[in-house]
Structure 1
Amino acid sequence: MANATMIMEFLLLGSSDGWNLSFLYFTVFPVTYLGTLLENLLIVTVTTADQNLHTPMLYFCLRNLSILNMCYISITVPNACVNSLTWQRSISVAGCATQIFLVLFCAYVEMLFLTIMAWDCYVATCQPLQYLLIMNPQFCVCMTLASLLSCLLYAGVHTGNTFRLSFCQSNMAHQFFCDVPSLLRLSCSDTTSNMVLILVSIIIIGGNCFAIIIMSYIHIFSAVLKFPTRAPGKAFSTCTPHILVVSIFLGSITGVFLRPSATSDTLQDMILSAFYTMVPPFLNYLIYSLWNKQVKEAVRRIMQRQLFSGKR
């Protein structure tokens, strides 16, 4: 036990089940990463350049969410691809702690932003006359800052609680990035308090956010169905993909963090981890832009403006 805390680095070895994951590292991961960057960069450009998208909080959150998504996927995917290409699988303890902190930080902020966007849809649909009063610029800034500051505490607590443990089993983490469940399986300390903290966090934060989103959309659907003049199809087309992303995000996180270590399958853990770190950022443009008429029109206006300026 004297040497239990002397591990200076971890090895990210991918799957332990004999699966060849080169296809993921050299095709799926790079394509998903580049697609995510281009899609979210387009959203940031459109919501910044088009004056018609500056007022609603939805687009304020959408721009922030796009910036967050580019940072979120950049924490794990590029490093995994480079490591696979160079066969350099080691990561220092400090580097591992930094990666865990940043992943938890971005995941928590992502969940809060998705919740705020659902609340924004609720106010816009159910209280349209008070929308500009409730969702004013000061409220937008305060909610964003509150989300960022609270997630610093959340990520710091979980990261510190993980690295207070002793690691004496092995330094080989069968994952493409450093995450809490992989390190808990390597620890020779009692991880009961870690699992309790994770469970409480998922129930309190994830459960409450999901409940707020569901309740917001229940009120939205009720309001739309009461007033036939409000297009039900538009509300359903906006709300359904949002709920889908939240369900994928929360479901994959819950599956990774709450699966028993004894029955945990490393390949399945990697797939679930990819779902909550890569799929929501990648689907951001497809869900919030292609399904939104105002964003599509803004993209068309900007493209036409660039084409006309190029011809001149």
Structure 2
Amino acid sequence: MFVDSVDIFIASGKGGAGAVSFRREKFVIQGGPDGGDGGDGGDVYVEVDNNTDTLSKFRGARHYKAKNGQPGSSRRCSGKRGDDVIIKVPLGTQILDFESRDIIVDMDTYPMRVCLLKGGKGGLGNVHFKNAANQAPTYAQSGLSGQERHIALELKLIADVGLVGYPNVGKSTLISVLSNAKPQIANYEFTTLVPHLGVIDMDNYKSIVMADIPGIIDGASEGKGLGLEFLKHIERTKMLLFVLDLSREQDIFSQFKNLCIELEKFSIMLKKRPFGIVLSKSDTQNTDMIDNLLLKLKQQFVNMESISLKKDKNSKALVSSDLTQENAPCFIIPISSVSNTHIAPLKALLAQSLVV
């Protein structure tokens, strides 16, 4: 089960109490204080684990408490320090305060380990309180209490490119052709119910990580379909790739416009992210229709922004002369994942766009 949001309770250990003790040995008359210190309580750490990609293990265990420190003993023996608790989370997990939703730490790099709560300090034994006026102190410090906190864990996948589109437009097929990902593929809507990551191997031993999320429908921001629940998984991406279906009853312009509206309702920053446009299932349309559509798209974006979209010599793709221009696509390219049409040029365009 893919779980990307949970809340848990964490607590550090209590410090052990200092000991009240006096030296008692044969031939030693009225030995002085020798009570040892209590051990410190255990800390609570959070650590990135590259072997997990979901928060499902936290559904069955919501309380994590470090061990208490042991009390001190005679002969100045200190108590044992409490064992730490290490909470392992997938890469990309944000740790938030449950009440305020403020981000405590973002676990966005590997390796990474952060201390969330420090254990209570152990108390001092009576040996520390001996002085000229009081050579036989009969008191010691009790250990300090540990800390407690209610936190939320939010997993946000880390990828270079995020796929955005309606259900059943070919996103899963595209990521399966481009990368090593094996999502469920079928000819009905909402076959993708959870996000998927795929690694696209490029030349020079480089790679691009692509994220596929469930399809967005009109009114998703109001909770329709799967809502906008999974859009957080493309918040970290460097660019978005809109997958627009040429065979869909809804025209390309309406698809793009409505998707942009839903993105903006979720996050204005996501709406401003650099993007490319893929016209999927190009094998269902004739060449003249695709050429006319590309011309209309070029006119729309050139009129909207002072940019230039030029034909790529290796494909039918329209490529922007300024990849940093806001509200304008880095490229527009018709593809077919089934027939492998223009898949290689798409990979090159993605690599070129991510360099900027």
After TM superposition, the score normalised by the length of structure 1 is 0.21
- TM-score, normalization: structure 2? 0.20
Higher helix proportion: 1
Q: Which has the higher contact order (CA 8 A, sep 6+)?
A: 1
Structure of greater Rg: 2
